[in-house]
Amino acid sequence: MLITLLELEREPVEFDLDILPRSIDFGPEVEQMGALHVSGRADLLEEHRGPRETVEDIRVLGQYAGRVQISCARCLDPVEHAVGGKFDLLFRPVGTEDLSDDHSISTSETEIGYYQKSGLVLEEIVREQVLLSIPARTLCRQDCKGLCPRCGQNLNSGTCACETVPADPRWTALSDLRSRMKPE
C-alpha cells in the first residue's frame, strides 16, 4: 500500500488490512505464518523552517500482529514466534537535510526515516518493525542440544555414533584441566 503526499494533503490516511504470507520478503530466515494484521493512520505534518520553507513530514502510527516461523539457533528446527507491537514513526523527504558536512546527529534525529517523492510503502515499514521485534537468537526450547558438529544429527531426537573427544590435539590440554579441577 503506497501512502502518497497527495492523499495526505486531502486528509489523513487510515489503514486496516491483512498482509498475506509472501507479500513481504523477510529474508531466508523468517517465514510469515498466516495473515499479518496491520492497522493505523498516516498524517502529514508541516515543519516550518523559516518564513518560506516548509518540510512535509509523514507521521505513521500503527500496530501489527501476526506469527512468523524462525529456525532454532542450535538445531535449525522451525519455531513459531508471535510478533506484534505498536509504532510511531516520522518520515522526512529525502534530500531535506544537508548531509554534505560531517556532523554529529542528535538522538531525536536517529528516529527519523526518509521517503522518496512518490511516498511511503506501508509494507516496508511493517517489514522493518517485524524484523526488529524478532529476538536475535531463537531456541526451540531452553535445553536444546543442537546438532552434532560432525555428522549433523539433531541431538534432540537421538544420539549419533561420533566420537565426543576433541579431534584437534591442541584441545587435550583443556580437557586434562577439567579432570584436575575439584568440583565445588
Q: Are 94 and 15 contained in the same domain?
A: yes
pLDDT score recorded for residue 97: 65
- Rounded Cα distance between 58 and 55, Å, is 10
pLDDT score recorded for residue 48: 77
Task: With a cut of 80, say whether residue 60 has pLDDT above it.
Answer: yes
Q: Are 184 and 99 contained in the same domain?
A: no
Q: Are 10 and 77 contained in the same domain?
A: yes
In a domain, 140, yes or no: no
Q: Are 126 and 54 contained in the same domain?
A: yes
Domain, as residue range, for 154: 145-184
- Rounded Cα distance between 155 and 148, Å, is 7
Domain count, the chain: 2
pLDDT score recorded for residue 54: 78
Strands 54-71, 78-93: parallel, antiparallel or unpaired by DSSP? antiparallel
Q: Are 150 and 66 contained in the same domain?
A: no
Q: Are 76 and 28 contained in the same domain?
A: yes
In a domain, 138, yes or no: no
